[in-house]
Amino acid sequence: MRLSDYNYELPEGLIAKYPPEVRGGSRLLVLERETGALIDSWYRDLAEFLRPGDLLVLNETKVMKARMFFLDEQDREHEIVLLEKHGDIGGAGAGKMVLYRGRLREGEVLRLRECPDTQIAITEVIEGGIAKINRDLTEVAAGYGRTPLPPYLRREAEKSDEERYQTEFARHLGSAAAPTASLNLTKEILGAVEAKGVKVVKLTLHVGLGTFLPIRTDDLTAHKMHAEYYEISAEAERALEGARDKGGRIVAVGTTVVRALESYASSGKARGETEIFIYPGYDFKLVDAMLTNFHAPKSTVLMMAAAFAGWDNLEKAYEHAKREEYAFLSYGDSMLVY
């Protein structure tokens, strides 16, 4: 299984640099897996493609202001991004794992650019640009951090991103990136979904920056995913069982929800760490439909979408989306695949 087999040309002009002016105003491309049929629609009309008895599953994680800047003893600047929380989703979490740029060494002490009295010490330098530090930065990030926009947006976070790079139902603080498939979900859209007879439940998976890290090997079987923490409530477990018993479809909103559900289905554990890497050939155990974004070439999330939709279907859908000038990536339009 080769990474190079799952690639496509993405024009820079189709990457959405900003969200739609009105939340929920994005487009929706609907793909039927069995026939490959495509329907051009709108995100706000999601309910039209759902059925009574379906179960819509959301991720209620909340994005931290994870991006900060520290200075070393020579006043050199180091960008530090606080990684996702693990363990207790409602508590403070470890807050001691960071992604960094430049060079760091163990034992080095850094001071926060905006508040020099706030210092951290590097306790361990790990491969892949990850380091451990000596203190929990969660509260520091809340006061001094910036919204950690994906690097491919190639712009600094603005005040509006604090709201728009967050879902309306975000609850558990702990992600270093947003569950972007649900950024356009509104109370009105969810109300229409529930009025259709669809039950809505939520789980939590704290999204890590591993979502954006490149796959560094052409052999997909050799790639190791960055671990993320997930938790599925007893209520959600009952809803999942009930939907299956009644013949309803389980509709995952986003690749993060797919990761949590498929990890749960594989392990039987309602909470824990997941390193699941879903790529073509994977046998889905729980998910019947997926609402997702248009993903970057050669990314882990593109691999998941290809596994679910079938690469031939997905490639044709992406070519259609390019011709019709859909907006791609985190702030862009969406696909519903069933």
Q: What is the pLDDT of residue 1?
A: 75
* Structure token pair of residue 241: 């069982």
334-337, strands of its sheet edge to edge: 38-42, 27-31, 334-337, 289-293, 250-253, 55-59, 199-205, 228-231, 271-274
Give phi and psi for 319, each to the nearest 5: -65, -40
Concatenating the DSSP letter of every residue in 135-175 gives S--HHHHHHH-B----GGG-S---TTHHHHTS-TT--EEEE
Q: What is the pLDDT of residue 338?
A: 97
- 333 Cα distance to chain centroid: 15
**Alpha helices (runs of H) in the chain, residue ranges in sequence order:** 138-144, 161-164, 187-195, 234-245, 255-267, 300-309, 311-323
Q: What is the pLDDT of residue 65?
A: 95
- 98 Cα distance to chain centroid: 18
Q: Is the Cβ–Cβ distance between 7 and 299 less than 8 Å?
A: no
DSSP state of 17: S
Q: What is the pLDDT of residue 89?
A: 44
Spell out the per-residue pLDDT of the chain, length 338, in tens: 788 888 999 999 999 999 999 999 999 999 999 999 999 999 999 999 999 999 999 999 999 999 999 999 999 999 999 988 876 544 434 568 898 988 899 999 999 999 999 999 999 998 778 899 998 888 899 999 999 999 899 999 999 999 999 999 999 999 999 999 999 999 999 999 999 999 999 999 999 866 666 777 888 888 888 789 999 999 999 999 999 888 999 999 999 999 999 999 999 999 999 999 999 999 999 999 999 999 999 999 999 999 999 999 999 999 999 999 999 999 999 999 99
In the chain the domains, ranked by start, together with CATH numbers, are 3-63+162-337 (3.40.1780.10), 67-145 (2.40.10)
